[in-house]
Amino acid sequence: MDLQTTIYLVVGATFALYIGIAMWARAGTTSEFYVAGGGVPPVLNGMATAADWMSAASFISMAGLISNMGYGGGLFLMGWTGGYVLLAMLLAPYLRKFGKFTVPQFIGDRYYSKSASTVAVLCLLVASLTYIIGQMTGVGVAFSRFLGVSSEVGIYVGMGIVFLYAVFGGMKGITYTQVAQYIVLILAYTIPAIFISFQLTGNPIPQLGLGSSIVGQDVSLLSKLDQVVTELGFGKYTTSTAGSTLNMFVYTFSLMIGTAGLPHVIMRFFTVPTVAAARSSAGWALVFIAILYTTAPAVAAMAKTNLIRTITPGVIMSNADVYGKDSAIEYETRPDWMKRWEKTGLLKFQDKNGDGRIQYYNDKSKSEDFKKKAEEAGWKGNELEVNADIIVLANPEIALLPNWVIALVAAGGLAAALSTAAGLLMAISAAISHDLVKGVFAPDISEKGELLTGKIAMACSILVAGYLGLNPPGFAAGTVALAFGIAASSLFPAIMMGIFSKKMNREGAMAGMLSGLFVTLFYVFAHKGLFFIKGTDYLDLIGGANSFFGITPEAFGGVGAMVNFIVAFLVDKVTKEPPEHIQHLVESVRTPRGAKAVDGAH
Amino acid sequence: MDKSGKAYWQATLGLLTKILIIWFLVSFGAGILFAPMLNNFHLGGYPLGFWFAHQGAMYVFIALIFYYKKKMGDIDRQFDVHEE
């Protein structure tokens, strides 16, 4: 069977499975639509949370970025897992005890103010929409390869499918579907990694393979990679940081607290039966996430190795000279996977020195020594552009794995993108229909009207995200990192202080959320354009790129969160303390006894 | 808050502090600040600082959450505030 047919078959079969499950578990009531009636056991909930969590950014984009960044890419790994420790200890059990089903509801009740809840809706919408833009970029990449079309057409197709999918199910449908999606995506991620690890190192466990020697050689994979990428003018793989150490520190911090502040993840902990289950759900979620996250660095390093091995075969497996005349392969003899990806426009070759061979190296290297060597070798610039977002999807093709593995990875990438997009759309639709329309504008709206409003909100979000996804502010994982920064700087501090400080009042919380959100967006938009629209950036105004101590916009959420905490603290000091009954509410949230199932009533 | 309520919350905060210190040390400490120094040591083919950033920190995170879950359950029962 040829590759394309196999891909259609595997992707089609997994889709049929998800739709089947969604129909079987179809939601009847509003409460079921949003939180699955609170009856999902911790292990399953952990698995669904993992699928919800691991998006196109984790599955498709992250390893590709790590592959380019090397050691510095570890900030994604630590940031996106470390946040679960915070979530498990600081938020999940208390929010579960609180017993409402959206984040703005918590903010509104705890800070005894509809305005506070509206501010939370605003923060939630900005964070979730940015997140979906990143998803759409990823969906576009996956569909473009899968259907053999350009990435723009891929995004249009993806928009349609995400919409049908999210509108159909509701949370209960989504929870069980996500369990199935987790299984598909984790198999799709680990199976090729196992094959590749075995091919390169003889050790089938990728986590160990990455620390092993290359087959038939006495040198470890990582030191070989270090040596070769340095020879090609890139930074040393195991030590190159993401910008400065300070930037890596703040970036990691931002992703961690953003993880704990993202509404679609927090929402998951409302769906467990008890407070104790909320604690262990976070642990199980992290176990299932870590299976992918500890494999990702192996995928990253091995994909880089295999890419270089494809282009300059002798350099990795024997000790051929990188700069040798015949080291690089001729363009005409390039493998089929390159031809397939050229069609999507995400892989490009341009023969700059006219020798008919592919030179792949870092032509922006600042090393004089390297520049001299490149010139002597007759290189006239890097000739191969590989979009970082294709690395994972192309990985099994690069390693020449069997067709069914390639098809499985395509299905896995789509599962990852769809499950997260659906979860985010749920959070958006709940925020708009439940917290904004029902909570503020039309309290006596019927249950049917509420569901309809939610679905319209979903449709609008998909259109906006799809439009912006066509001109994304960065790679999928980078865009998603922006969303985390926004959640980190606005929602996390307000929720945390709502639990850990009895005296934090509504004025403090609202001022904190707004100022955190504002400074973060101001800095991000300066780099990426107002509302991510190309050409509206205003870097001059803030004094050039990364002008705040060299911190990148993706990392700025950590700074925004600090601003949030400080402003909230100061405003709280000069305004009235919260009423007695709110302080009692906080006390009761802190102890597990008496937790009831969520009912959604105000 | 009554006396036992206060003591319960103190015990909880004590546990959280302990866990957060380890959480900070493995990620921001070993994975970032001390990584260049730790890279002088190796774990198989892994430089140690690199290993913490790309592998080790995540394993510790998982252990921390389950440790927290267990200890928190003990504290709940000790102060008799656990769920029935």
If you measure CA to CA, which chain A residue comes closest to B42? A211
Q: pLDDT tens digit string along A117-134?
A: 999 999 999 998 888 888
Inside any domain, residue B49: yes
If you measure CA to CA, which chain B residue comes closest to A93? B69
Mean pLDDT across B59-81: 94
Residue with the two structure tokens 């015949």: A326
3-state SS assignment for residue A558 = helix
Yes or no, beta carbons of B65 and A239 under 8 Å apart:
no
Q: Nearest-CA neighbor of A494 among A168, A103, A205, A140?
A: A103
A476: Cβ contacts below 8 Å, ≥ 6 apart: A56, A57, A60, A61, A134, A135, A137, A138, A141, A389
Inside any domain, residue B30: yes
How far apart are alpha carbons A316 and B31 in whole angstroms? 28
Select the residue from B6, B12, B43, B61 to test the A interface by mutation, using most A Cβ atoms within 10 A: B61
B28 CB neighbours in chain A (<8 A) are 249, 252-253
How far apart are alpha carbons A557 and A543 in whole angstroms? 19
CA distances from A316 to A388, A572, A589 (A): 21, 61, 58
The pLDDT of residue A174 is: 66
Q: Nearest-CA neighbor of A100 among A271, A279, A262, A277?
A: A271
The pLDDT of residue A368 is: 84
Q: Are strands A347-349 and A384-386 parallel, antiparallel or unpaired?
A: antiparallel
The pLDDT of residue A424 is: 82
- The whole domain housing B47 covers 3-78
Q: Nearest-CA neighbor of B51 among B34, B64, B65?
A: B34
Inside any domain, residue B11: yes
3-state SS assignment for residue A578 = coil
Checking if the pLDDT of B1 tops 70, the result is no
Q: Quick one: tokens of A494?
A: 């307000």
Checking if the pLDDT of A166 tops 80, the result is no
Q: Which of the pair, A230 or A421, is modelled with greater confidence?
A: A230
Q: Give chain A's mean pLDDT.
A: 85
The pLDDT of residue A568 is: 95
CA distances from A102 to A35, A113, A124, A602 (A): 9, 15, 10, 11
Domains held by chain B: number:
1
Checking if the pLDDT of A224 tops 60, the result is yes
How far apart are alpha carbons A402 and A397 in whole angstroms? 8
Inside any domain, residue B83: no
Q: pLDDT tens digit string along B8-42?
A: 999 999 999 999 999 999 999 999 999 999 999 99
- DSSP symbols for A459-497: HHHHHHHHHHHHS-SS-HHHHHHHHHHHHHHHHHHHHHH
Tell me how many residue pairs between chain A and chain B have CB atoms under 8 A apart: 139
Q: What is the largest CA-CA distance in chain A?
A: 80
Mean pLDDT across A522-531: 85
What's phi and psi for A148, nearest 5 deg? 65, 40
Inside any domain, residue B60: yes
Contact A47, A288 (CB under 8 A): yes
- Assign 3-class secondary structure to chain B: CCHHHHHHHHHHHHHHHHHHHHHHHHHHHHHHHCHHHHCCCEECCEEHHHHHHHHHHHHHHHHHHHHHHHHHHHHHHHCCCCCC
If you measure CA to CA, which chain A residue comes closest to B15? A89
pLDDT band at A173 (very low <50, low <70, confident <90, very high): low
Domains of chain A with bracketed CATH: 3-305+397-590 (1.20.1730.10)
